[in-house]
Chains A and B, each alone.
Chain A
């Protein structure tokens, strides 16, 4: 039997005591410290398998059990890493940042309450997109979800990490409306109108009175969110749009400059994502069908793949949601705008309530098949993404693409990139697909990632979300006024979490007696 993995500040004996205390608090059947348990919580997509090793896991099922476990963690200064469902693949999955941390797995907290009048769903963190979809189907509710490309995970976990979907409700974190949170000291709070006893408006008015705290618990380690209200989109009367392909890399500039104003004007209320050919192709085929040459793919191979699947160098899907009459008018605007910039193909799509539905992300249907892209290189695949926020401007986007594409070629990695619209920004998602069975490939991913961080930093572009490996590195790039924001974050951390037990290192935020671990 392998030795226990002891986190900082504990000894083997104290860890054993802490384990017993956890068993007393929530029951032996939901405390997991075997070797197999530890490996099952590791990061499947890790670049370096020696990092971020879980010390064990616990699985509380109620708010009271979360509180009880938090009290034990405080007693022993045991680091605890909460996960909703641990399916955040590419960002660390179910693994903790600090090795030896005990994963607090909230998968079994699966309660769903729904206010059909206002389209507000109250969720516990274990509720996955498929669970919520199933609930809506079983109860025949006229609402659509906003699902990400990997819908295996938690609905509120995704929102708490600023994940996105593809409907007008696609910026999921904006649809949070009131949280219930267990603070690191064990106290439970409710934000917004939830702070007002018996308020019927907890899920409908997001701000409450005085400071508004919801975003404080997003991408942070200031509390364990045990419940959240989210707004769901009423099923629209009509869905119209088009899938558009463009032939040349340089078409990116025109695409951004034409779609951007339509998004800012809210002719488009969903957030389109311009993706390159590999984003489509990596789901459909594998690299070895096309070449056995190492290094980035040649233009001739890219052309052959595009030809077989009939895809552009870039593709984008635009969708309109709502009343049919309004959609028809807006469709004409979109069509004219797209035709003006010489697409190689436009495929229109139209749906009206009552017709057979397209089961895709555009209709809020949960999906997992896009993750097939991890098989692109063969072997045990994985991916991470480097995703800086850049201006919603064609010249800036094209320059960012050219700079990044050159780096992909330099490092010999096949480029999978996209430019996803927000209302005023672009998120430039650069996926690095890899084969964990290739030591040569794995040896260069870390250097490559850090290179992209440095390149973006020179332009003033910072990442919006990152893998465990780079949480400190990315936090370092948010350096204005001597890193004043991180100082504030860590002042708050020390005030709320005096024993430094909750998710040490998350988003580069370390408690005072573990700051020596920063960057390790």
Chain B
């Protein structure tokens, strides 16, 4: 297990006990405000995906248990069709992302952005 990726796991589900000798402190969440020049798929990714797939997100933590590059933006060779399918149907512990939340066009833009990765 790549526990180092679980930043700041000292804080627990209901806000409980911290660990005396725990991992490094969690980083600041990445949102649009942290990348004000982001546009298109990148901006949509920050709005809709980064809460789980950013540096301290649930998705990053769980992927970090299985693969070497858990941050989706840093992945190489992601397939856009696969991303769309995984998001719409859900995958593993990830719930489905509905069309009410994210339109087909916006999801495609995110998928294209990630498929063009790794991104800076």
* Interface membership of B98, Cβ < 8 A: yes
**CB < 8 Å neighbour of B12 from A30, A165, A370, A381:** A370
Q: Do the beta carbons of A311 and B19 come within 8 Å of each other?
A: yes
Question: Which single residue of chain B is at the shortest CB-CB distance from A57?
Answer: B100
How close is B42's CB to chain A, nearest CB, in angstroms? 14
Q: Do the beta carbons of A44 and B96 come within 8 Å of each other?
A: yes
How close is B70's CB to chain A, nearest CB, in angstroms? 12
For chain A, what secondary structure do more than half of its interface residues adopt (helix, strand, loop), or is it mixed? mixed
How close is B3's CB to chain A, nearest CB, in angstroms? 6
Q: Do the beta carbons of A105 and B20 come within 8 Å of each other?
A: no
How close is A41's CB to chain B, nearest CB, in angstroms? 6
For B, the interface residue count at a CB cutoff of 8 angstroms equals 54
Q: Do the beta carbons of A375 and B93 come within 8 Å of each other?
A: yes
Beyond A347-B18, A369-B6, is A279–B100 a contact (Cβ under 8 Å)? no
Question: Which single residue of chain B is at the shortest CB-CB distance from A151?
Answer: B51
**CB < 8 Å neighbour of A360 from B1, B13, B26:** B26
Beyond A32-B98, A85-B101, A280-B12, is A359–B28 a contact (Cβ under 8 Å)? yes
Most buried by A among B13, B56, B95: B13
* Interface membership of A229, Cβ < 8 A: no
Beyond A86-B98, A107-B100, A279-B17, is A368–B57 a contact (Cβ under 8 Å)? yes
Contacts of A37 in B (CB 8 A): 98-99
Q: Do the beta carbons of A138 and B32 come within 8 Å of each other?
A: yes
How close is A158's CB to chain B, nearest CB, in angstroms? 14
Q: Do the beta carbons of B14 and A418 come within 8 Å of each other?
A: yes
* Interface membership of B89, Cβ < 8 A: yes
Q: Number of contacts between A and B (CB, 8 Å)?
A: 213
How close is A280's CB to chain B, nearest CB, in angstroms? 5
Q: Do the beta carbons of B32 and A360 come within 8 Å of each other?
A: no
Q: Do the beta carbons of B19 and A309 come within 8 Å of each other?
A: yes
* Interface membership of B75, Cβ < 8 A: no
A444 to B89, CA, bound (A): 27
Q: Do the beta carbons of A372 and B10 come within 8 Å of each other?
A: no
**CB < 8 Å neighbour of A275 from B8, B16, B103:** B16
Q: Do the beta carbons of B17 and A130 come within 8 Å of each other?
A: no
A149 to B12, CA, bound (A): 7
Question: Which single residue of chain B is at the shortest CB-CB distance from A245?
Answer: B17
Q: Do the beta carbons of B99 and A59 come within 8 Å of each other?
A: yes
Q: Which of A154-213 contact B (CB under 8 A)?
A: 165-166
For chain B, what secondary structure do more than half of its interface residues adopt (helix, strand, loop), or is it mixed? loop
* Interface membership of B120, Cβ < 8 A: no
1/0 per position for A492-509, CB-CB distance to B under 8 A? 000000000000000000
A243 to B10, CA, bound (A): 10
A86 to B26, CA, bound (A): 26
Question: Which single residue of chain B is at the shortest CB-CB distance from A274?
Answer: B16
* Interface membership of A461, Cβ < 8 A: no
* Interface membership of B77, Cβ < 8 A: no
Q: Do the beta carbons of A284 and B17 come within 8 Å of each other?
A: no
How close is B9's CB to chain A, nearest CB, in angstroms? 5
A280 to B3, CA, bound (A): 13
**CB < 8 Å neighbour of B15 from A57, A273, A359:** A273
Q: Do the beta carbons of B8 and A40 come within 8 Å of each other?
A: no
14 additional A-B pairs beyond A311-B19, A368-B58, A380-B92, beta carbons within 8 Å, are A44-B95, A105-B98, A273-B15, A279-B17, A284-B9, A289-B1, A315-B18, A317-B11, A359-B28, A366-B29, A369-B61, A371-B13, A373-B13, A416-B13
Q: What are 12 of the A-B contact pairs (CB < 8 Å)?
A: A149-B13, A243-B19, A274-B16, A275-B12, A286-B1, A315-B16, A347-B20, A358-B8, A358-B26, A369-B26, A372-B58, A416-B13
Question: Lowest 4 A-B CB distances belong to which pairs?
Answer: A315-B17, A275-B16, A105-B100, A243-B18
Q: B: which residues have CB within 8 A of A?
A: 1, 3, 6-22, 25-29, 31-34, 36, 47, 50-52, 56-62, 65, 88-90, 92-93, 95-101, 103
